[in-house]
Amino acid sequence: MVTRVFSGIQPTGLVHIGNYLGAIKAWVELQHRYESFFCIVDYHAITAPYDPSQMQKNIFDAAVINVAAGLDPRVSTIFVQSHVPEHTELAWLLNSIAPMGRLTRMTQFKEKSRLFREEINAGLFNYPVLQAADILLYKASVVPVGEDQVQHIELTRDLARKFNVTFGDTFHEPEAHLSAAPRIMGLSDPDRKMSKSIPGSYIALADHPDKVRQQILRAVTDAGPETGKPMSSGTANLFILMSQFSPPETYERFRREYNEGAIRYSEMKRVLADDVVDALTPIREAAEDLAARPDYVRQILGDGACKARRIAQRTIVEVKLKMGLL
Ligand code: AMP
Ligand code: TRP
């Protein structure tokens, strides 16, 4: 049995360094080891208020930035969820075995319902079932995601198990694959995760170097290390970023200075900003090149959808047979 990797990203505007460190970087590494599927999940994005006139641009931009960050269309299948209608078909079939109570307890659902009090729609409620369908349609077993998605992958496992028990062995139970930095916190508010819906909290992969520097220099830290006190969340977050973007000796030097109480956050931020700019510059430049070749980008997504659909159709036939629908 081939090991398949599946993951998704919502086309909701900007892709930030939290997405990159939590998920995209792992996708880029895993694609060379396993058969990989990466999906731009537009049907998930419409469960929150959005601007229809921006959707096609957001999908295009999501494809561009992910390919620029290293997803290779020659080895990975990159496609748009709504181009493969079997995703919603399997989601409906899985709805018939998905426990309401379980969906009510999903953290992301509870958080988003608080945020969009006026507009809690059934799509938002069923969002994790569609996510399970995305993964199970390709019988994927490895799902690289940030920490906030672990609960959804656990639900996916449970739905796979329940389906297998009820209708006969069909699906793998997939596992979340967490990176070394699965939860990057906001720069302006390090007690909440970095998110594109909180301005000031994120650095976008395509941000201009001046903006990157400014965001890091403004990041919330503390008044300095105090003996006996744990490291503040803002400082801890900067150290995580440094562990990912800077050479190990740089990280170790500032850790030592922190332990000795001699750290100067302004200097740490300046060094970190340079290293982040160095890491993001090739991504930003590749994204500019790709954006100038829209036909090529559309072709990647077209080819991806064809390839994905062949597998998706096979799974749907198998599932419908098992459920007595064929
Ligand atoms: P989204 O933009 O919500 O579709 O997220 C795409 C991927 O990025 C998912 O795997 C998320 O878990 C991951 N992700 C989003 N925000 C963060 C963050 N602040 N830290 C780490 N991973 C994140
Ligand atoms: N819910 C995920 C997020 O917000 C996106 C997603 C949709 C996904 N389908 C998926 C992630 C399947 C992994 C696998 O980040």
Section 88-107 average pLDDT: 97
Compute the distance between CA of residue 163 and CA of residue 95 in angstroms, rounded to an integer: 11
Q: Which ligand is nearest to the CA of 143?
A: 2
Spatial distance between the Cα atoms of 175 and 182, rounded to a whole number of angstroms: 15
Q: HEC states along the chain?
A: CCCEEEEEECCCCCCEHHHHHHHHHHHHHHCCCCEEEEEECHHHHCCCCCCHHHHHHHHHHHHHHHHHCCCCCCCEEEEEHHHCCHHHHHHHHHHCCCCHHHHHCCHHHHHHHHHCCCCCCHHHHHHHHHHHHHHHHCCCCEEECCHHHHHHHHHHHHHHHHHHHHHCCCCCCCEEECCCCCCCECCCCCCCECCCCCCCCCCECCCCHHHHHHHHHCCCCCCCCCCCCCCCHHHHHHHHHHHHHCCHHHHHHHHHHHHCCCCCHHHHHHHHHHHHHHHHHHHHHHHHHHHCCHHHHHHHHHHHHHHHHHHHHHHHHHHHHHCCCC
Same domain for 19 and 168, yes or no, is: yes
Distance 167 CA to ligand 1 centre (A): 33
- For residue 47, give the ligand nearest its CA: 2
Whether the pLDDT of residue 229 is over 90: the answer is no
Confidence bin at 44 (pLDDT 50/70/90): very high
pLDDT at 120: 87
Say yes or no to pLDDT of 140 above 90: yes
Residues 125 and 264 in one domain: no
* Per-residue pLDDT at 224: 84
Q: Is the pTM of this model over 0.85?
A: yes
* Pair (38, 78) in one structural domain: yes
pLDDT above 90 as % of the chain: 93
Shared domain for 26 and 107, answered yes or no, is: yes
Q: Are 137 and 43 in contact (CB under 8 A)?
A: no
Pocket test for ligand 1, best of 19, 184, 193, 240 (most atoms within 8 A of CB): 19
Using the mean position of ligand 1's atoms as its centre, give its distance from the Cα of residue 27 in Å: 12
Q: Is the predicted pLDDT of residue 77 greater than 80, yes or no?
A: yes
What is the C-alpha end-to-end distance of the chain, expressed in Å? Answer: 25
Domain count for the chain: 2
Average pLDDT of the residues of the chain: 96
Supply the CATH number for residue 268's domain: 1.10.240.10
Domain that holds residue 94: 4-183+293-322
CA nearest ligand 2 atom 9, residue:
131
Between the CA of 61 and the centroid of ligand 2 the distance, in Å, is 17
Same domain assignment for residues 164 and 248: no
The confidence band for 306, taking pLDDT boundaries of 50, 70 and 90, is very high
User: How high is the pLDDT of residue 116?
Assistant: 79
- Taking the CA of 36 as reference, the closest ligand is 2
- 90 or 196: whose pLDDT is higher? 90
For residue 221, tell me if it sits in a domain.
yes
- Distance (angstroms) between ligand 2 centre and the Cα of 271 equals 33
Q: Counting beta carbons within 10 angstroms of the beta carbon of residue 322, is it exposed (0 to 12), middle (13 to 18) or buried (19 or more)?
A: middle
Instruction: Give the pLDDT band (50/70/90) at residue 231.
Output: very high
Which ligand 1 atom is the nearest neighbour of the CA of 7? 10
Task: Identify whether residues 169 and 305 lie together within a single domain.
Answer: yes
Does some domain include residue 308?
Answer: yes
Is 309 found in the same domain as 282? no
The pLDDT assigned to 2 comes to 80
Average pLDDT score over residue span 254-260: 96
Let me know whether 241 and 307 are in one domain. Answer: no
The pLDDT of residue 252: 98
Query: Based on the domain organization, do 125 and 259 belong to the same domain?
Result: no
Domain assignment present for residue 193? The answer is no
| Closest residue by CA, ligand 2 atom 13 | 7
Catalytic residues: 112, 193, 196
Q: How confident is the model at residue 165 (pLDDT cuts 50, 70, 90)?
A: very high
Are both 168 and 55 inside the same structural domain? yes
Residue 52 maps to which CATH number?
A: 3.40.50.620
| Distance in angstroms (rounded) separating the CA atoms of residues 206 and 208 | 7
Torsion of CA 131, 90, 45, 64, to 10 degrees: 80
pLDDT at 119 over 90: no
Does one domain contain both 314 and 169? Answer: yes
Does residue 74 fall inside a structural domain? yes
Report the pocket of ligand 1 as residue ranges, CB < 6 Å: 9-10, 18-19, 22-23, 145-146, 148-149, 182-184, 193-194
Domain-located, residue 156 = yes
Q: Are residues 116 and 254 in the same domain?
A: no
User: Residue 185: beta bridge partners?
Assistant: 193
What is the model's pLDDT at position 118?
78
Please report the pLDDT score of residue 115 as a whole number: 84
Instruction: Give domain status of residue 86, yes or no.
Output: yes
